[in-house]
Amino acid sequence: MAQFHAAKRSGQGWGHTDFNDPAQALNNYWKDNDDHWSQVFLSAPVHAVLTRRLSFDLTPYLSFGQGWDALGATGGFLAPANIYFHADGTPVPAGQQMTPYFQANESRQVGATASLNYDLDRHNQLRLGYWYENNILNFALPTSVTMADGTNPSPNWAAYQAFVVNGATGKLAHSTIGIDSGYELHSLFLQDTAKYLNDRLTAMGGFKFVMTNYWDKVAIQSNHFVTGEISAHNAGFEHSVWRFLPADQRQGRGHGAARHGEFRPDL
């Protein structure tokens, strides 16, 4: 707790210092490790009771994130001579502190699970369902000139963006690597959930088949592309899971309540 309050007051803590040494590439100055991230989650679960034993669950979901992470405290470096330039063509002097970044332009996850549930008896429920997900991560690895006081600027701040000479065109190009990656999956699953000892003991067993397509496209210095796509089809068994649940997690789980299976993805 003391380390937390010290970091809150001065930034010093967890390996970070509260001062900047411009002669050092990795001085762990906390202001050269500033991050910005925004994320939104959206889900709309639907549980429909069809008969006394039969029910239907539908859970669509969306997660979207965007932001950047400065890596100055762990990946910062001093600029070599005649490698980096400002946007106007002015060379970045040798020994200048530089800050690399992870910058996510789009981190999006969208999908849905749907299942038909049948209560075999008062202990067992059988679920037959389908799961779809599309996951996209579009990000870049840019480099910027560290500010004079050791603070990392936003990677979108043009005045501090670093440029290099593109070997193919001879022109200045933003010093970054762009990566467009993601996957899409379709899955069918069959699951049995058994509850005993007043819901204190839960046993789950099931089977699912997953078809997944991955992609990964890389752009270096704006116009050199290396693309690759991998397709994979996977099938796997779910092992039985035994667990005891605390009393506060068992409240409201009477007959007709929504059942949450292990195949539903976490947002």
260 within domain boundaries: no
Structural contact between residues 28 and 17, judged by C-beta atoms closer than 8 angstroms: yes
151 within domain boundaries: yes
264 within domain boundaries: no
Q: How many domains does the chain have?
A: 1
pLDDT score of 11 = 66
90 within domain boundaries: yes
Average pLDDT estimate for 95-120: 94
120 within domain boundaries: yes
Average pLDDT, rounded, for the chain: 80
257 within domain boundaries: no
Average pLDDT estimate for 184-188: 92
Write 158-164 long-range contacts (CB < 8 A, 24+). 158/87, 159/86, 159/87, 161/86, 161/87, 162/79, 162/84, 162/85, 162/86, 162/92, 162/98, 163/84, 163/85, 163/86, 163/87, 164/83, 164/84, 164/85, 164/221
Structural contact between residues 263 and 206, judged by C-beta atoms closer than 8 angstroms: yes
228 within domain boundaries: yes
pLDDT score of 128 = 95
Q: Quick check: 8 pLDDT over 80?
A: no
Structural contact between residues 248 and 216, judged by C-beta atoms closer than 8 angstroms: no
pLDDT score of 221 = 56
Classify residue 49 by burial, with Cβ atoms within 10 Å: 0-12, 13-18, 19+: middle
Classify residue 93 by burial, with Cβ atoms within 10 Å: 0-12, 13-18, 19+: exposed
pLDDT digits (tens, 9 = 90+) for 57-73: 999 999 999 999 998 77
Residue 15 lies in domain: 2-249
Return the amino acid letter for 124: N
Q: Quick check: 95 pLDDT over 80?
A: yes
Instruction: Please report, rounded to a whole number, the percentage of residues in the chain having pLDDT higher than 70.
Output: 77
- What is the pTM for the complete model shown? 0.71
pLDDT confidence of 9, banded at 50, 70, 90? low
Structural contact between residues 73 and 20, judged by C-beta atoms closer than 8 angstroms: no
Q: Quick check: 106 pLDDT over 90?
A: yes
107 within domain boundaries: yes
pLDDT score of 20 = 80
CB count in 10 Å sphere of residue 188: 15
